[in-house]
Amino acid sequence: MGGSGESRYAIVGGEARADALEFIAALDAFERSSARFFRAGEDVFVARAPGRLDVMGGIADYSGSLVLELPLAEATFVAVQRDRERALRIVSARSAGAWSEATVHLDEIVRDGEPVDYATARAYFARSPEDHWAAYVAGVPLALMRERGAAIDHGARLFIWSRVPEGKGVSSSAALEVAAMMAFAAAFDLDLDALELALLCQLVENVIVGAPCGAMDQVTVACGEAWKLLALLCQPAKIEGALPIPEELGFWGIDSGERHSVGGSDYTSVRVGTFMGYRIIAELAGLRVERTERPGLVRIEDRRWRGYLANLAPSEFEQHFSKHLPERIVGAEFLERYWGTSDPVTRVEPEREYAVRAPAAHAVYEHFRVRAFAELLGGASSERKLGLLGELMYQSHASYGACGLGSAGTDLLVELVREAGPVAGLYGAKITGGGSGGTVAVLGRREAERAIQAIAERFAARTGHAPQVFAGSSPGAAAFGVLRLRAS
C-alpha cells in the first residue's frame, strides 16, 4: 500500500479542487484501514455535488414557486468503478476509521432482463432500515435503466465521502444522489445534461427512497454556480438564471441542531394540505376535474394557473378563494367530496386531519415574496432595501410556522438575528428547506461575520448546542465535472 503519505491514486482527467484532494486522502485512509477497494489499472470516476442553502422559496417548490438557492462550500464526493460482479458494493466513509457498507445485487433490481418497477424497489430498500441509505445510491442505476433505457449489465463499486451534514436541511440527500448519478453516468458512458440528471435524481428520491421532495435541491446542487443564487421556477424546473450576490452582502446558514427530514410526517402532511387547497380552488373556479385509475389521484384541466398554486396572485387568492378554504379537514371527508388531489407523490390518509388554508396561502404568498426578493437584490444595497429584503425573509419564516413547520431552535435563531439587527449588519433570517428544524438562512453585510459568530455563541449558551455555521459557496456538480482517477 505504501507509506501513510503516499497515494495509490493518480489524477488522469479533470482538475482537482482542494476538497477533491481531501477526498482522495480519505479514500487512501479507508484502504489503509481496510483493504484495497478499487482495482488497479482501471478508471475510477469521481463526481462532486455541494449542499445548498435555501435563501427563499423552500417548500413552495412543489407548488410551482420561484426559489433562490445558494450552493454551499461543503460537498459530497462519490467515486464509481465498474465491476465484473453483478452487484453494487457501496462504502460510505462516515469519519476517520469508521464507515458503513451495503451490497445490492443486480438481481434485486433487474429480473428476467428487465428493471423492476419502482414500487418493488422501494419495498426492497425499506426492508432493512439500517441499509435504507443505500437507496439514494442504488436507485440511480434503476432510474437510468427505466427512464433512459440504459443497458447496465455490470455491477459497480462506489465510495462515498461527504462534508455535507445530514439532517440539517442543507440537502445532503440531493448532494449524494447527484454525485452518484453523475459518477455512475460517466462510468457507464451515459450522456446526461445537468437538468435532466437533476430531475432523474428527484425521481429517485420520490419513488424509490419515498421522500416527497420538489426539484429545487437536486437542480441547485447540479446546476448552481459559486456565490450566485440559482433562480429556479419550479414549473416544473425552469432555470431563470443565476443572480450575483452584491459584493457588500453575504448569506450564512446556522444549524439549529434539530434534525430535519423531508420524509417526515409534518412535511408530508403540509404538502398534502397544499394540494388539497389547490383541488378545492379548482372546484371553486369551475375547472374540469377527472378521476384517474389510481384512487385518490385526480387530473385537473387547468389552463388558468397551469397546475400551480404559485400562479395565483395573492390578491386573487384573498378576494376569491381564501375564505372558502377550510382551516382543517379530515382525509375521509375530503376524499368523499373532492375525490383526491393532483399530486402523484403523496396520498391522502382517510383517518388523518390536514391543515389546508395556511399551506395553500403559503404557496401563493411565498412565490410573490421570492419574486420581490429577486427584484430587490440587484443594484445598490441601501438600508431601506436591505430592510425590505430582511422583512421578506422574516415573513417567510412566520409563514412556515403558520403551516406547522417551525421549531423552537429555528425560532430562537431568527429572534437572535432580529435582536442584533441592522446595527450589527444583520437584516433578515428564516427557516429553510422543509422546515421543522434544520438550518436558518441569514442575510447581512459581508463584514457581519463576527455578529454571526456571536449569535452562534449566544445560541449555544441558551441551548447547549454549538451550531455549525455555513459561510462559503462552491460550484455545482456540472461546473465541477468528473474527475478521473487510476489506481496503481
Residue that the C-alpha cell 455545482 belongs to: 476
Q: Which of 47, 189, 191, 190 is nearest to 481 (CA)?
A: 47
Q: Which amino acid, residue 37?
A: F
Mind spelling out the 3-state secondary structure of 203-269?
HHHHHHHCCCCCCHHHHHHHHCCCCEEEEEECCCCEEEEEEECCCCEEEEEEECCCCCCCCCHHHHH
* CA–CA dist 462, 256 (Å, integer): 12
* CA–CA dist 486, 484 (Å, integer): 7
Cell digits of residue 226: 459559486
* CA–CA dist 188, 258 (Å, integer): 39
Which residues in 310-334 are b (16+ Cβ under 10 Å) and which e? bbbeeeebeeebbeebbeebbbeeb
Q: Which of 2, 28, 48 is nearest to 93 (CA)?
A: 28
Which residues in 222-260 are b (16+ Cβ under 10 Å) and which e? bbbbbbbbbbbbbbbbebeebbebbeebbbbbbbbbbeb
**Residue 46: φ, ψ to 5°:** -120, 125
Distance of alpha carbon 456 from its chain centroid, rounded?
24
**Residue 442: φ, ψ to 5°:** -130, 135
Q: Which of 43, 61, 83, 217 is catalytic?
A: 217
Q: Is the CB of residue 98 less than 8 Å from the CB of residue 26?
A: no
DSSP 174: H
Catalytic site includes residue 217: yes
- How far CA 427 is from CA of 253, 381, 382, 420, 445, in Å, comes to 14, 12, 12, 9, 8
Q: Which of 399, 378, 400 is nearest to 389 (CA)?
A: 378
Task: Please state, as a whole number, how many other Cβ atoms lie within 10 Å of the Cβ of residue 114.
Answer: 9
Task: Please state, as a whole number, how many other Cβ atoms lie within 10 Å of the Cβ of residue 41.
Answer: 8
Beta bridge partners of 178: none
Q: Which of 35, 7, 154 is nearest to 99 (CA)?
A: 35
Cell digits of residue 247: 459584493
Residue positions annotated with a catalytic role:
217
